[in-house]
Amino acid sequence: MSDELGYIYGKNSVREALRSQSEKISKIYVLFNIQSREISSIIAIARKHKIPCVQLDKNKFNALEKRVCPEGSRSQGIIALQELVENLTLGELLDKIKISENPMLVILDGITDPHNLGAIARAAECAGVKGIIIPERKAATITPVAMKSSAGALQYLSVAYVSNTNLAIQKLKESGFWIIGTSDKSKNLYLDNIYNQPIAIIIGSEGSGIKPSVAKHCDYLVKIPMQGKVSSLNASVAAGVILFEAVRQRNYARK
């Protein structure tokens, strides 16, 4: 699939983009006369990569910010134009992964909020996940909002879009992956010893979880026990809990 060209904004997102994929940034816009050591550092890095940095007066910068940043979001005085993320097919993603290295993948099912997508990506990258798989329809996509919410993590993750999640799961199984889903009806806890192998963890929406049609294709369903009155966690928090249990088990297995 083709790359998406768009804007990213915020100090962390732009800095991480420069560190990981500077060749994809075509221009950086900065608010004129802004006093910020962080932005000065970002500009210095950009100039080393010969990326043009354009200072805009307050009116022009505010107009650009209003056009590219969602209502209520702030750019922190810096906006970059770049290819957001390379969109891969599932086959291309699998070609990049060495199955012998016990890779972890994340599959999103019913995640429609780009803030959640970005937050899940941030947890996934910190946990060493190799890639995220996203449905082509009825799902959040890689947008400037998702990029900012990921704090730059999406710069380091491979992203594959699939037309059919169940067919993607079948292909992953054929490639040696163990599919783990989440369900509050499961009798199995997320603490079970199941993560020290190639795995794909499915993260569903906060309200309804993963779809029943997807759940039935999982090799293992786990739940995170709730102790309070609220019945479910934010999707990105649930992802973080499960992913770092996987990290804990894998690190323990090496000792």
Q: Of residues 85 and 19, which shows the higher confidence score?
A: 19
- Exposure letters 31-68 (e unless 16+ CB within 10 A, then b): beeeeeeebeebbeebeeeebebeebeeeebeebbeeb
**Is residue 134 a contact partner of residue 159, using CB atoms and an 8 Å limit?**
yes
pLDDT digits (tens, 9 = 90+) for 149-182: 888 788 889 999 999 999 999 999 999 999 999 8
Q: What is the pLDDT of residue 73?
A: 75
Q: Report the percentage of the chain scoring pLDDT > 70.
A: 95
| pLDDT in the model for residue 69 | 82
Given the structure tokens 């060493």, which residue do they identify?
Answer: 128
In the chain, the domains with their CATH numbers are: 5-83 (3.30.1330.30), 87-254 (3.40.1280.10)
Lowest mean per-residue pLDDT among 28-32, 103-107, 249-253? 249-253
3 has a pLDDT exceeding 50 = no
| Residue 1 pLDDT greater than 60, yes or no | no
Q: Is the pLDDT of residue 145 over 90?
A: no
pLDDT above 80 (res 134):
yes
**pLDDT in the model for residue 72:** 65
How do residues 188-219 score in pLDDT, each as one tens digit? 999 999 999 999 999 998 778 899 999 999 99
> For the CA atoms of 90, 82, 124, 104, what is the dihedral angle to 10 degrees?
30
Helix and strand numbers (H, E) in the chain are: 9, 11
More confident of the two residues 119 and 143: 119
Mean pLDDT over each residue of the chain, to the nearest integer = 89
User: Could you tell me which residues come within 8 angstroms of residue 89 by beta carbon, excluding any fewer than 6 positions away?
Assistant: 1, 160, 161, 162
Alpha helices per DSSP H over 49-157: 58-68, 90-96, 114-126, 144-149
What ranges make up the beta strands (E) of the chain?
A: 5-9, 25-31, 53-56, 78-83, 87-88, 104-109, 131-135, 158-162, 178-182, 199-204, 220-222
Q: Which residue reads 């390379």 in tokens?
A: 86
Dump pLDDT digits (tens) for 42-76. Answer: 999 999 999 999 999 999 999 999 888 876 678 99
Three-point CA angle 118, 121, 127, nearest 5°? 150
